[in-house]
Amino acid sequence: MSNKDAYIAKMKLQLDELNAKMSELELKAHEAKEETRERYNAEMSKLHEQSQLALDKLEELKLAGETSWKNMVTETEKVRDAFIKSFHYFKSQL
């Protein structure tokens, strides 16, 4: 397995784990009071956008050539880190 493939697999695993945790949080939204649920749904919408952005970056990375993918790593990690930070902040607010 090349460095690129290993990196992509690791990144995909991290994003999949975060998305699974988001699904767990969404289940809690159904149990929340209406006022809380509206705020919760707005924040979840933002998290889903960040998740999709991270997945899109991962797809770009997959399609990149062997020489150019290393140049994309920093940008991909920034997007992933922003998603992780937003997720943890949101989770701490529950």
Q: Taking residues 1-28, report their average pLDDT.
A: 86
Quick: pLDDT tens for 19-63. 898 888 777 767 767 777 777 878 888 888 988 988 898 898 888
Contact 55, 22 (CB under 8 A): no
* Residue with tokens 């922003």, as numbered in its chain: 82
Q: Taking residues 59-85, report their average pLDDT.
A: 86
Where does residue 44 rank: exposed (0-12), middle (13-18), buried (19+ CB within 10 A)?
A: middle
Q: Provide the mean pLDDT of the chain.
A: 84
Find the Cα–Cα–Cα–Cα dihedral 5, 7, 12, 13, rounded to 10°: 110
* Residue with tokens 């699904």, as numbered in its chain: 23
Single pTM value for the model? 0.69
* Residue with tokens 């990144």, as numbered in its chain: 11
